[in-house]
């Protein structure tokens, strides 16, 4: 049958799609199946399948094949043009265009687009915009057909076209491995599938080199490694491609000759870096050595002692005032923020200048609240440029003392930018909890500095009386020591045991949206769900979807837009997951969708710091819903109430002590863990893998 898509009802992560459609003979029927992946409201489809009875949702058309066709009837054409698929045309303008040209509308746009100016409200500028959008829409549709022929998700078509434009089909045919790292969602497995079906030989050097580079980049993105041991890289790649290790090893030499990788001596074996990570690590070590050995420009004078300080806090103040680079660490309740406040006040009393910053906006705001001093993000302090490889020697931070809180979040890239900006002689104080998770990006900067004996450091261990009664702080210190977190009398920490992962998810949603808000007399926005994993029945994707349907469901007559398996509506809580220097938004900030403009194909987001930014529909991969977020993405933030599922799904690969410790310390008033005791025990027992980094070795060598 042929039918037009009226509304997307549900899209699953595996692309299984449920949609409401209408045809000339039947209005408002439901169709479902993975063959519908990527369809959008307004499109006309030729469907193959059979009618079936769903036990819960009733009669629906189970689709086995789907082909996009050009709308033929006046109704279908108007629905297509008014759906928002063509930028610059909304429902009213679509009605006017179709009212003027009738069934010939699409032929006019195709063959005589200049005639569009016959319609009121369409001038030359709007006409050019419509023609360009129409051309792009047709190109993406054609690309979808090509991808389906390769057995690859058609959802990738728009992403490929966004990067390569009219050259997309040519690049797809000539060099599919080029898409890796340039097109979001395309890793080696997808590019390799296209390449092999296009006739690229299994033993092709191009294929093997792509697999080797993907191995390095995946290790950086997934595990935070800056390098891999040569033997491990070759062995894994050979096994993955089912080729001989000798052949794969030869291609490492080829990448070395092309200067795409660096091979050098590690602690026990030869190691392989992607060129970018090697150059950044070497640069950071050199910058840190320069800062450490520089003569201080701080106008140091005698400073008065604060009688309220503990001995280790007093030592930390002296360290920060006398060392050009130093590290202050300690767990919750040990007075790091108060120590920073005293250090900053002392420098100001001496006539010096101070800059307080943190990797995320929330962390900076929290630092400002705790110290009573202004704080900013590292990115904004550096006045970051759009060029990701541009360093900032020409615009150094001018303060006598620069304090970076939540320094465990500094990855190799941001730490290099930061140290490039600081003038030699300024004091850099890195403050953080070394027991928390490392950065999302590659590297382990804070932990690496703590391995270098020449770097001054102070760990605060004394838990102050006002913090001793907190169940959260007690639980955190128990976890850090390898003990199960069971605090007497609750006091801010609670573990609720449930075995069924599906029941765990439902209970977490109930606690976050109803039980805690009702008991504590707060809005649901005061309760944050944190999940160890993204996938699974108790992961961020599924729990986030459940909370969205509870707090902000689809409503008749209210606009919404599906991007992959995510639907965006006005009122949704969202989080940018990539830095965007042009927009001035950074990974980890949160905001609310305040407008969804179908005609302009944009979503407007009010960031919590007060700025409103626009995301085009094809940029929505940069946003994720914030109803349930990963523990990694919660770093630097603090929430009044935290609820978290703990289940041993997929082997519980993310359950680690640092992750559980970070999760618990995100809460201010209450943290409730819901799940399997086995998962809790596993998280406490597992220490986690150390990242492959060479920063401590390089810095030690640079300092002689």
Neighbours of 489 (CB within 10 A): 8
Pick from 616, 505, 621: nearest CA to 565: 621
**Cα separation, 689 vs 76, whole angstroms:** 56
- Name the residue with tokens 């946003």: 623
How distant, in Å, are the alpha carbons of 20, 505, 526, 542, 634 from that of 546? 21, 9, 17, 6, 20
Pick from 7, 1, 2: nearest CA to 598: 7
**Cα separation, 176 vs 179, whole angstroms:** 6
**Cα separation, 256 vs 191, whole angstroms:** 23
| 195 neighbors 211 (Cβ within 8 angstroms) | no
Q: DSSP secondary-structure letter at 232?
A: H
Residue 337 is assigned to a ligand binding site = yes
**Cα separation, 31 vs 18, whole angstroms:** 6
Residue 334 is assigned to a ligand binding site = yes
- Name the residue with tokens 């941001």: 414
**Cα separation, 358 vs 166, whole angstroms:** 41
Residue 362 is assigned to a ligand binding site = no
Query: Taking the mean position of all CA atoms in its chain, how far away is CA 629?
Result: 10
Residue 336 is assigned to a ligand binding site = yes
DSSP string covering 315-359, please?
HHHHHHHH-SEEEEEE-TTS-HHHHHHHHHHHHHHTT--EEEEES
Residue 390 is assigned to a ligand binding site = no
- Name the residue with tokens 């002296």: 318
Pick from 165, 160, 153, 162: nearest CA to 176: 160
Tokens representing 344? 């900053």
User: Which residues sit in the known binding site for ATP?
Assistant: 333-337
Q: Pick out the residues of the known binding site.
A: 333-337
């Amino acid at each position: 049958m042929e039918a037009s898509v009226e509304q997307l009802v549900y899209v699953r992560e595996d692309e299984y799609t449920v949609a409401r459609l209408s045809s000339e003979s039947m209005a408002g029927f439901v169709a479902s199946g993975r063959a519908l992946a990527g369809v959008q409201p307004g499109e006309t489809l030729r469907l193959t399948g059979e009618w079936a009875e769903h036990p819960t949702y009733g009669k629906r058309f189970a689709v086995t094949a789907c082909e996009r066709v050009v709308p033929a009837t006046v109704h279908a054409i108007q629905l297509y043009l008014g759906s928002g698929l063509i930028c610059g045309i909304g429902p009213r303008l679509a009605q006017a265009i179709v009212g003027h040209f009738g069934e010939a509308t699409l032929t006019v746009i195709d063959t005589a687009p200049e005639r569009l100016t016959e319609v009121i409200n369409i001038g030359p500028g709007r006409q050019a915009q419509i023609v360009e959008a129409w051309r792009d829409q047709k190109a993406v549709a054609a690309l979808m057909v090509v991808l389906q022929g390769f057995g690859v998700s058609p959802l990738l078509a728009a992403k490929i076209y966004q990067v390569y434009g009219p050259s997309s089909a040519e690049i797809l045919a000539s060099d599919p491995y080029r898409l890796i790292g340039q097109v979001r969602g395309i890793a080696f497995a997808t590019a390799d599938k296209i390449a092999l079906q296009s006739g690229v030989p299994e033993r092709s050097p191009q294929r093997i080199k792509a697999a080797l580079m993907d191995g390095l980049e995946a290790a950086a993105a997934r595990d935070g490694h800056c390098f891999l041991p040569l033997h491990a890289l070759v062995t894994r790649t050979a096994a993955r491609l089912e080729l001989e290790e000798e052949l794969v090893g030869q291609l490492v030499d080829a990448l070395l000759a092309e200067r795409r990788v660096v091979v050098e001596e590690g602690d026990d074996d030869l190691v392989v870096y992607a060129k970018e990570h090697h150059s950044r690590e070497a640069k950071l070590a050199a910058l840190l050595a320069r800062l450490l050995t520089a003569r201080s420009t701080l106008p140091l004078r005698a400073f008065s002692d604060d009688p309220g300080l503990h001995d280790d806090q007093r030592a930390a103040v002296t360290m920060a005032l006398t060392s050009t680079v130093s590290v202050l660490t300690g767990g919750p309740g040990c007075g790091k923020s108060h120590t920073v406040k005293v250090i900053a006040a002392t420098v100001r009393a001496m006539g010096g200048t101070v800059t307080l910053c943190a990797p995320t906006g929330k962390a900076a705001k929290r630092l400002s609240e705790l110290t009573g001093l202004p704080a900013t993000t590292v990115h904004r302090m550096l006045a970051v440029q759009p060029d990701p490889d541009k360093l900032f020697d020409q615009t150094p931070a001018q303060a006598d003392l620069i304090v970076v809180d939540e320094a465990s979040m500094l990855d190799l890239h941001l730490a290099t930018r930061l140290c490039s900006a600081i003038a030699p002689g300024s004091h850099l104080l890195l403050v953080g909890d070394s027991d928390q998770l490392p950065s999302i990006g590659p590297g382990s900067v804070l932990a690496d500095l703590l391995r270098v004996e020449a770097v001054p450091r102070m760990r605060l261990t004394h838990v102050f009386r006002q913090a001793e009664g907190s169940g959260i702080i007690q639980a955190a210190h128990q976890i850090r020591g390898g003990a199960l977190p069971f605090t007497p009398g609750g006091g801010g920490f609670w573990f609720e045991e449930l075995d069924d992962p599906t029941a765990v998810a439902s209970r977490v949603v109930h606690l976050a949206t109803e039980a805690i808000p009702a008991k504590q007399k707060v809005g649901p926005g005061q309760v944050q769900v944190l999940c160890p994993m993204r996938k699974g029945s108790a992961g961020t994707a599924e729990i986030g979807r459940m909370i969205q349907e509870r707090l902000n469901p689809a409503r008749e007559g209210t606009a919404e837009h599906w991007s992959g398996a995510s639907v965006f509506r006005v009122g949704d809580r969202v989080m940018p997951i990539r830095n965007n220097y042009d927009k001035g938004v950074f990974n980890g900030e949160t905001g609310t969708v305040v407008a969804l403009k179908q005609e302009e194909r944009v979503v407007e987001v009010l960031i919590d710091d007060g700025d409103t930014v626009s995301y085009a529909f094809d940029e929505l991969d940069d946003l994720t819903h914030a109803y349930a977020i990963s523990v990694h993405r919660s770093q630097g933030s603090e929430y009044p109430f935290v609820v978290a599922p703990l289940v041993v799904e997929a082997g519980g690969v993310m359950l680690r002590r640092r992750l559980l410790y970070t999760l618990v310390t995100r809460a201010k008033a209450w943290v409730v863990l819901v799940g399997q005791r086995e998962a809790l025990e596993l998280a406490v027992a597992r220490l986690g893998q150390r990242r492959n980094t060479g920063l401590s070795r390089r810095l030690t060598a640079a300092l002689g």
